[in-house]
Chain A
Amino acid sequence: MVIEVFGFSPRSGLPDTHLHTFASQLHERDVASAYASPEAYESYIADNPNNDSRFIFPIGEGDWQEDQNCEMVADGARELVVRGQRLPIPCVDEYTERGITLGNPPSVHVFELCRYVAEVARESVLATPQERHISVLPGMTQILQLEDWHHPNVVEDDDRPSGSETFQQLAQVLATGNTEPYQPSRPPNTHWRNWPECGML
């Protein structure tokens, strides 16, 4: 199972698409020499036997981002490059038209720009089929793709994927190879508008 999340983390510096892969066997895991020490490698593998993370960066570096504060879009920035394609930086009104309420206009946070880019160039910010497969065994084939779903609010201690209808049904899909068990009764909630505090941790 691969879950991809496009967004912005100040620690990363650039917007990224985080590929979370969950599998009984993972493909091309990092080798021990990539870790600071053999102990660090053993510890990571022991703690993460069935999951791995990879990142891609669909938006290129540029002067669209403030020099001294990577969380802000530079004043007067005109364009950015997404997967090699130039995209004009929107004016304030264009954010509003897309349902994005700027927190401190006319300043624009990078995460707000990411939401705009996701609206106008969704396919470009998400991973390609080859990128999604990076930690998946080569012989496996995709049997289901979801553009949205009902996700548990994992901030709550008693709200976990194991208790969610979504992941219980997806587990049945995995166990049987049949997509029929995925019949969600709850509406999707993965759009960022449903998570007003996301990214605020």
Chain B
Amino acid sequence: MGWSLSHSIRSFISSVDRILRFAWLVAEAEVGMQVYR
């Protein structure tokens, strides 16, 4: 499957990109992730 995303998903990923760039979002002690739809 090629790398093709809807506009909303692209916007979402752009947001993740921008925020994580500044947050240096790595584990200081513990982490978890959940995906909802």
Q: Determine whether the beta carbon of B29 is less than 8 Å from that of A111.
A: yes
Identify whether the interface residues of B are mostly helix, strand, loop, or mixed: mixed
| Chain B nearest CB, measured from A41 CB (Å) | 18
Per-residue CB contact flags for chain A residues 167-195 toward chain B (1 = under 8 Å, else 0) read 11011111101000100000000111011
| Chain B nearest CB, measured from A82 CB (Å) | 12
Q: Determine whether the beta carbon of A4 is less than 8 Å from that of B32.
A: yes
Q: By the criterion of a CB under 8 Å from any partner CB, how many residues of chain B are at the interface?
A: 31
Q: Determine whether the beta carbon of A4 is less than 8 Å from that of B31.
A: yes
Task: Please list the residues of chain A having a beta carbon within 8 angstroms of any beta carbon in chain B.
Answer: 1-8, 15, 20, 22-24, 48-51, 111, 114-115, 117-118, 122, 125-127, 132-133, 136, 140-149, 151-152, 154-155, 160-162, 167-168, 170-175, 177, 181, 190-192, 194-195, 198-199, 201
Q: Shortest 9 CB-CB distances between A and B: which pairs?
A: A7-B28, A50-B15, A118-B30, A144-B35, A114-B29, A140-B36, A146-B33, A118-B29, A6-B30
Task: Please list the residues of chain B having a beta carbon within 8 angstroms of any beta carbon in chain A.
Answer: 1, 3, 5-6, 8-9, 11-17, 19-21, 23-37
